Amino acid sequence: MFNTTFLKNKNEKEKMKIDLEFSLKNNIIPIEYHSFIVSFFKKALEAYDENMYYELYQDGNTALKTFTFATYFDSPQFLKDQIILGTNKLIVHITDYDMQDGILLGNALRGMGTIAFPLRNNQMKLNRVTIGQLTYLNEDNIIIQMSSPLIVRNHNRETNQDIYYTYQDTEFKETLKMNLNSMLQKLEYPISVDDFDIVPLKNKKTVVKLYHHSINASLGVFQLKGNPQLLDFLWKAGIGSHRSSGFGSFKILK
């Protein structure tokens, strides 16, 4: 089990990162693999910490999460309904802005090491869990590359319909800013988005499958501007919508 006693001596601004290495029974996975990875997280939390599981997931709970993840494959071939991998292995990289939740999630995942978890027409088994820390990002202007697609959603409460914008749309920037402000308010994090800006640099549109829906999203390189506390939050918690389903994760290039 990961030792939590260091919390008393470490800088509060240090956050969690968790790397998972899975082996697969075969090299074919469904195109909607995100939902299976989320199910794996749920199974781990339910067995390890029921309170955290109920808080985040039980009964369709849509509680905002402070983590995101990206999935890495070897030489993937993307087909209509499945992905053919170059090897029977996948890597999941998780970052969490809430250090205590990150520790609980990491410990929960370590308990899944002996389980052959079902993946449509396949199985995945967790071989390795590596838990570490990310230091505070003290920058107000960074260049990032999306590790998983950036989803920007405008939800119409009256019609209960969603519109998804990409970097090509004029509504993209303002909608993302509104999403960020709403998320931070719900989390009760007093972080300002007033000076936030996102500038597309080298990007492409993509379509992702999530819960049987096709969603427009953006990949590539962006410039982010804003106060350091906001950029640090986005680095760890992710940016945009559906972050805890494996979207909006990025790495810093500069």
Last residue of a domain, one of 134, 162, 184: 134
Average pLDDT, the chain: 90
Mean pLDDT on 138-166: 92
Condensed to tens digits (0 to 9), the pLDDT of residues 169-195 reads 999 999 999 999 999 999 999 999 999
Among the candidates 134, 166, 195, a domain finishes at: 134
How far CA 211 is from CA of 4, 37, 119, 154, 208, in Å, comes to 35, 13, 15, 18, 10
* CATH number for 188: 3.30.70.1900
| H helices present in the chain, as ranges | 33-48, 50-56, 99-110, 172-187, 228-237
| pTM for the model | 0.90
Contact 148, 38 (CB under 8 A): no
Q: How far apart, in whole angstroms, are the C-alpha atoms of residue 107 and residue 131?
A: 9
pLDDT for 13 beyond 70: no
**pLDDT at residue 11, rounded to an integer:** 42
> 187 or 14: which carries more pLDDT confidence?
187
Q: How many folded domains does the chain comprise?
A: 2
Give me the mean pLDDT over the 104-120 stretch: 91
Mean pLDDT, residues 44-73 taken together = 87
Choose between 3 and 195: higher pLDDT: 195
Domain interval for residue 110: 5-134
pLDDT band at 5; cut points 50, 70, 90 = very low
Residues 149 and 130 in one domain: no
Q: Indicate if 22 and 118 belong to the same structural domain.
A: yes
